[in-house]
Every structure is written in structure tokens, then in C-alpha cells.
Amino acid sequence: MVTVDSVSFLGRSADGGVVKLLDGISFAAKAGEITAIIGPSGGGKSTLIRLINRLADPSEGRIEVGGTDIATMDPLQLRRMVALVPQKPFMFEGTVLDNLQMPFRYRHETPPAAQSGEVAEVLALARLDRELLERDGRSLSLGQQQRVGVARALITKPQVLLLDEPTSALDRRTSDGLAATLREICHGRNLTMIMVTHDLRLTEKVADYCFYLEAGRILEQGRAAELLAHPASMELKRFLAEPADQEV
Amino acid sequence: MDNQGLVNLGILDLVVAYSLVLLAIGLAKLKRIGQEAQMLWASLRMVFQLLAVGYLLHFIFAVKHPLPVLAILLVMGGFSLQVIGARIKRKMPRFYQVVGTALLVGCGGVTFVFCSLVVHYSPWYDPRYLIPLAGMIIGNSMNGASLAAERLGAEMRERREEIETALCLGASARQAAKPALRNAFRAAIMPTANTMAAMGIVSLPGMMTGQILSGTEPMVAVRYQIAIMCAITGAVAITAYLIVVQGYRSYFTKAQQLEMQ
């Protein structure tokens, strides 16, 4: 479970000034549920999940993972519990297998072999063909790289999975497949999953809980089906009605 | 030192030599390259700076006291730090602290080992040995340090995405920055390695040439050159290593977060 309590974050604007990118954010993401963060670009969604992974620290407020304040945790241990998959996952030099083995190398653990059950499992979950294992990771399409990013995060069995636009480069069919997988993993492994997305179709399909973030503030939150069907705020109504704004 | 073969250069000889610079300036003017003023200014600076340092060394050699020798070494080190700072536009956090410490430890340590264990002259501060040897070590380390610091900064900026991805996967700051460190160190020692590889075939090194011109037996000069090249390589490597291993830390917070300016 991830609890975010009154979190604010000051960042730098394009002109170098200080700007409040997040303002008093509070929510709880439960284990076994997918929490979707939706909202227009530049609203602070990606910044928020970076804070949960401690790639940056909040200016105010606290974040707890499994009941422990992450500010008191060893950042390496935290990041081994909380995996973040960026929108464009970086592919390290080498094959897809090398990329899947990378987290184990960082932990000084023996990486799983190509024929191992762990590799087979994450390939299936991320809907990747086994033949891709020997391909250069950087030669893959962006959609394939996104799925390698998800597989690479899942292979170490994290307790929390943070996804930044996980389907932005996927076609509809692959996106639907990945959505089904995400639900399956989340419920099957009792994973806490927080997903930043513009994709309302994906949100409808997979999210249990949802909140709408705009200009660094949560304007609305609730059960996903309820929130998307009956938005209360003008901002969310406008966001849901303007598909053009939802393009990445 | 054996000076039997030494041909002393008079003022007239220097004037003739300087005429070659004037020839270069004349050619630049003729071909409208537009560098005449810079060449004239640089050549005049070279002449005055070398004359000044000649008089200073003459004075220090006469005094035979460790304090002025150490003062000269400090000025050389400080000046090299200032030169590196001026060359690098986007400096790493705590730049002067990191580079200054690396130069002090790298050059200071190697100069000490070289002078006391290899050349073992007496007294330890004899300016005839200490100043030129330390000068060569500092000068080469300055180039290595400059390359290490500049390349490290560029690598950290260019590899930001890669570094953050590694951090997300549970890498320590050092593991995440390892490719950047490796490339910065390689860039720093490459010129020294190239110089060593080409030495004696492509170029005759300055110190050796100078010693031979001043009457030293070629084999004695060669042994000095080999020894000083080893010292320079060691100093460049230690200085660059200290810059990359101390420098990368300045890009991370205590919570192993990448913090770019």
C-alpha cells in the first residue's frame, strides 16, 4: 500500500524560476488495485510517481510504502521494492536478455538464464516473443521497448509498480493485451500499481481507483468507473470531453 | 650536469629565431588569415613570460631554500586549477574542491614518489630538479584533469535518462554512473597513452631534446624521459581517477537522486 499525505513539490520552471509542481496531494493506493492518475500534460503526474520512487524528495508532506515513511528508508531498498517504468524506458547496451538481467547485476545476484522460468514468465506477461531475447534492445520498436521496460521491472517481483504512460506507443490490440496482463499481475500478485496515463480507454479497462490531477492539484478522485461516468468538476468534464488534449 | 656540448644562445640568435614568428605573421597577413594580432601578442607573451620565469628560477636556484620552491609549486598548481576552471563552461558541483584535491593528491603524491624514490637527489627541495619535474607532472595532469572534468559533466548530462533508469532498477549511484565514469577516465588518459605510443618515432620529447641539446648523453636523457613519462602517466591517471570518483558524487544527493543543475 502507498499513502501520499499532503505532498507538495517545488520545481524549476522553463525560465529558471521556482514553481509549485505539486500542491497538497493526498491519496492512498491499495495493494491488489490499480490506481490511475489522469490529467492534462504538465499537471505533475510524472513528478508524483518520481517522488514515490524517491528519484526526488517532496518539499512538504510524507509518502509511506507499506506503512513506512520512505524518507527513512534506504533509497536502494525502496527502489528494489518500488519499480518505476518510465514512458520511454531506456534500453541498456546489449540484448533484451541483458536488459532483463540488469536489475540482478545491480543487486549482485545471479541473473536468471534465458531458459529460466522467471524470464519465460515476464516475457509472457509483457507479451514479448522469445525470439526477441537475443535482439539488440535498442533496435526494437518503441512499443516493444515499452514492454521490455515492463518485463524488466516485473522480473524482480516488486511490491509496488509505477507506470508512466505504459501504452503510449502501443497499438490498440497490444494495448488491450497489456491492460489485461496488468490487471492479472496486480490482482494475482497483490501488487500496488499506480499508473499515469492519458489513455481513458486503458483507465476504464484496468483502473480500480482514479484521480484527476491538474496544475499540481487533485481536483477529483474516486472509484474509476464512478469517476469517469459521473465527473463532478468542470475541469474533469472538459478533459473527458476533449480527446484531442489526451494525445501524448 | 655535463655542459660540454652546450652552445649558448645570444640575443642576436634569439632575434633571428623570432624572425621566424614574424615570417609566420607576415604569411598570415599576406593570406589575410586575420590572426596576425593574436600571433604577435601570443609570441610577445611567450617571450616575456619565459624571461620572467628564467629570472625567477635564477633567483630561486641562488636562494636554495624550500619556501620559495614550495611557493612556486603552489602557484603552478593554483594557476593550473584556474586554467581548468576557465576552460570548462559547465562546471560540476563543488568543481574547485574536487579538481583541486585531485591535483594536489595526484601531482603531489607522484612528484613526491618520483623525486624521493626514482631521482633521489638531495636536498629534497633542490629547485633544479623539483621545479621542472613537478612542472611537467602538473602541466600534463592539468590537461588530463580538464578532460576528465569536462567529459564527466557532458556524460552525466547526456546519460541522464540511462542513469535514472538504472536508479529505478535499484542501482546505486556509482553503478548508475559507471559508464559515464569509464568514458571520462578514458578521455582523460587517452592523450597521454597516445603520446607514449608515438614517443621516439613520431616525436622526440621536449625534455629529452632539451637535455641532449644541453650536452647530456643521449642514453641518460632517454632514461630521464622514460622515467618522467611513467611519472606523468601515473599522475594523470591518479588525478583523473580522483576527479571522476569524487566528481560523480557531486551529481547525486545523499538519497542517491540525480541532481543536475
Do residues B128 and B212 share a domain?
yes
Q: Verify that B7 and B72 share a domain, yes or no.
A: no
Residues B42 and B138 in one domain: no
Torsion over CA: A210, A216, A217, A219 (sign): negative
Contacts of A146 in chain B (CB under 8 A): none
Which grid coordinates belong to A43?
A: 499537471
pLDDT by position in tens, chain A (length 248) = 899 999 999 988 777 788 899 999 999 999 999 999 999 988 899 999 999 999 999 999 999 999 999 999 999 999 999 999 988 889 999 999 999 999 999 999 999 999 999 999 999 988 899 999 999 999 998 888 989 999 999 999 999 999 998 888 788 888 888 888 888 888 888 999 999 998 888 898 899 999 999 999 999 999 999 999 999 999 999 998 875 444 44
Specify if A98 maps to a domain.
Answer: no
Question: Do B97 and B22 reside in the same domain of the chain?
Answer: no
Strand, helix or coil for residue B236: helix
- Is the domain of B34 the same as that of B86? no
Q: Decide: pTM greater than 0.95.
A: no
**Measured between alpha carbons, how far is B124 from B111 in angstroms, rounded to an integer?**
11
Same domain, B39 and B156: no
Q: Is residue B196 part of a domain?
A: yes
C-alpha cell recorded at residue B111 = 612528484
Positions in chain B whose pLDDT score sits under 70:
1-6, 203, 260-261
Chain A residues in contact with B168 (beta carbon < 8 A): 53, 55, 79, 83-86, 153
> Where a domain ends, among B32, B63, B94?
B63
Find which of A54, A72, A138 to mutate to test the B interface (most B CBs within 10 Å of its CB): A54
Residue holding cell 499506480? Answer: A194
Residue A69 φ then ψ, to 5°: -65, 120
In a domain, A111, yes or no: no
All three cell numbers of A129, joined, read 516473443
Its domain, for residue B76, covers 66-251
Q: Does B167 touch chain A (CB under 8 A)?
A: yes
Query: What DSSP state is assigned to residue A7?
Result: E
* CATH number for position A39: 3.40.50.300
Does one domain contain both B87 and B184?
yes
A68 lies in some domain: yes
Cell numbers found for residue A166: 505504459
In this structure, the answer to whether residues B143 and B241 fall within a common structural domain is: yes
- B261 near A CB under 8 A: no
Question: Looking at the domain assignment, is residue A114 inside a domain?
Answer: no
Q: Is residue B257 part of a domain?
A: no
**Quick one: B7 and B87 in the same domain?**
no
* Residue for grid cell 549511484: B173
User: Based on the domain organization, do B107 and B224 belong to the same domain?
Assistant: yes
In this complex, the residue of A53, A92, A107 whose CB is nearest that of residue B168 is A53
- From the list B126, B133, B150, the residue with the least C-alpha distance to B76 is B133
Q: Select from A74, A79, A92 the residue whose CB has the most chain B CBs within 10 Å, as the one to mutate to test that interface.
A: A79
Please report residues of A whose CB lies closer than 8 A to that of B164.
55, 86, 90
Q: From chain B, pick out residues whose CB is under 8 angstroms from the CB of A157.
A: none
Neighbour-count burial of A29, counting CB atoms closer than 10 A to its CB (0-12 exposed, 13-18 middle, 19+ buried): buried
All residues of chain B having their beta carbon less than 8 Å from the beta carbon of residue A102 are 166, 169
On whether residue A53 sits in a domain, the answer given is: yes
Q: Is residue B260 part of a domain?
A: no
User: Sign (positive/negative) of CA torsion B97, B103, B105, B108?
Assistant: negative
Determine phi and psi for B216, rounding to 5 degrees.
Answer: -75, 145
Q: Is residue A180 part of a domain?
A: yes
The verdict on residue A173 lying in a domain is yes
Residue B259 lies inside a defined structural domain of this protein: no
Q: Is A217 helix (H, G, I), strand (E, B) or coil?
A: strand
pLDDT of residue A137: 94
| Residue among B162, B167, B258 minimizing CB distance to A79 | B167
- Angle (deg, nearest 10), helices B66-87 and B127-158: 20
Buried-state track B175-212, b at ≥16 Cβ within 10 A, e below 16:
bbbebbbebbbebbbeebeebeeeeeeeeebebbeebb
Contacts of A79 in chain B (CB under 8 A): 167-170
DSSP codes of every residue in A168-203: TTS-HHHHHHHHHHHHHHHHHTT-EEEEE-S-HHHH
A152 and B171 within 8 Å at the Cβ level: the answer is no
Among candidate residues A96, A163, A106, A168, the one with its CA nearest the CA of residue A134: A96
For B151, residues 6+ apart whose C-beta sits below 8 A from its C-beta are B183, B184, B187, B188
Whether residue A79 and residue B169 make contact (CB cut-off 8 A), yes or no, is: yes
Number of domains in chain B: 2
Range of the domain at A174: 2-90+160-246
Note whether B175 contacts A103, CB cutoff 8 Å: no
Domain count, chain A: 1
Nearest residue of A to residue B165, measured between CA atoms: A90
A27 domain-assigned: yes
What does the alpha-carbon distance between residue B79 and residue B111 come to, in Å, rounded to a whole number?
17
Angle at A37 between CA A35 and CA A39, to 5 degrees: 155
Residue B17 shares a structural domain with residue B138 = no
Q: Provide the pLDDT for residue B147.
A: 95
Let me know whether B56 and B87 are in one domain: no
Minimal Cα distance from B172: which residue of A?
A: A76
